Amino acid sequence: MSDPGADAGSITFTGGDTDSDNRLDPDETWTYSTRHTATLADLDAGHYSNTATATGTTVATGTVTTTATADVIGIQNPELTLVKAADRTEYTVPGETINYTLTVPIPAMLQFRELQLVIRL
């Protein structure tokens, strides 16, 4: 069993060897589990396609190989938050300056090509 897109060490035999002889016998169905941790590149691509391969050797015909592919859609939810904070909570006379800090936190799984901030007075 191989899955090059799986996280390292995540391929695990979960069952099916009913007689515990480490051979895939007639009427047995072996199952495995694995996982892939999505990356920013996966999300930017809009999906993640992964192919696993199973290879076995039969007594009669030699090597047999099969593959299976699963494609998972990456939902891109671009969203921004703008936080504006003043350096004071009050002022007393005309002409006093109020300074602001503007913060735009970017979610970890989101990448922007450009960010523009427009301030209307």
Do the beta carbons of residue 47 and residue 73 sit within 8 Å? yes
Residue 101 lies in a domain: no
Residue 109 scores a pLDDT above 70: no
In 3D, which of 7, 84, 93 has the Cα closest to residue 52? Answer: 7
pLDDT in tens, 16-72: 999 999 988 899 999 999 999 998 889 889 999 999 999 999 888 899 999 999 999
pLDDT band of 11, cuts 50, 70, 90: very high
Domain interval for residue 17:
12-73
Residue 69 lies in a domain: yes
Residue 57 lies in a domain: yes
For the chain, what is the domain count? 1
Read off the pTM: 0.64
